[in-house]
Amino acid sequence: MNKKLEVQDLGRIDYKEAWDFQEDLFAKTLAIKVNNRRTGATETTPNHLLFVEHPHVFTLGKSGDIQNLLASEELLKEKGARFYRINRGGDITYHGPGQIVAYPILDLENFFTDIHKYLRFLEEAVILTLAEYSIIATRSPGETGVWLDVGTPFARKICAMGVRASRWVTMHGLALNVNVDLGYFDLMIPCGIKGKAVTSMTAELGGVAQDEEAIKAALLKNICALFEAEL
């Protein structure tokens, strides 16, 4: 099993461009696996982790409801935002400047074959990272992602997640709100969950802008520790 993680920071990149890049890595990994099984070859599959930031964009997952997007096409244009229907799980999500987006394209057969464990590990990596900034976060039963004050009237989401997997190869991932403009979340019903607020690290830390590079480094460290991955 190959536990080496190849990390790339693509910077700010259009959502569709990043999606196409993911799809290419995903397809190449699947092709190796298919060839190994067909021919008996033992070529090692790679594991990728992409860090990106997107211009304003709303994406709707396979099971999502378009009614959860509250903005018209005209308003999206006015706000400088785009919209895509995509092939991950989950409902509607916003990405934008000030948000750390991580896309793991992993062959889980290099680690473990359990999608639920995979999702929990991604959540745990975020929870551990937030704890380093004195933000106490947790999971919300039945709601993928990372939350604060679960079980209270003040429950709010700080990290959204949505993944796709085929033959144990993953793509898409997580979006952690750091210095993001929370006003854009008013243009949708986040993840299709009514009555729940969205927050950011900046909002939780008294409005002080946070060092995104340091947070990415902490998140990478925690992902590697949980997955026992090597750089």
% of the chain exceeding 90 in pLDDT: 85
- Arithmetic mean of pLDDT, 10-18: 96
pTM of the model: 0.94
Residue 133 has pLDDT above 90, yes or no: yes
**pLDDT on residue 101:** 98
**How large a percentage of the chain has pLDDT more than 70?**
97
Per-residue pLDDT of 180-228, as tens digits, reads: 999 999 999 865 566 679 999 999 999 999 999 999 999 999 999 999 9
Active site residue 191: yes
Q: Tell me the pLDDT of the chain averaged across its residues.
A: 94
Secondary structure in 3-state letters for 153-166: CCCEEEEEEEEEEE
Q: Which pLDDT tens digit goes with each residue over 108-119?
A: 999 999 999 999
pLDDT at 46: 98
pLDDT confidence of residue 182: 95
DSSP at 121: H
- pLDDT of 78 reads 94
The predicted structure's pLDDT at residue 106: 98
The pLDDT of residue 195: 67
124 vs 226: CA distance, rounded Å = 8
d(CA 164, CA 158): 21
Which entry of 137, 191, 198, 201 is annotated as an active-site residue?
191
Provide the pLDDT for residue 15. Answer: 95
Domains of the chain, first to last: 6-227 (3.30.930.10)
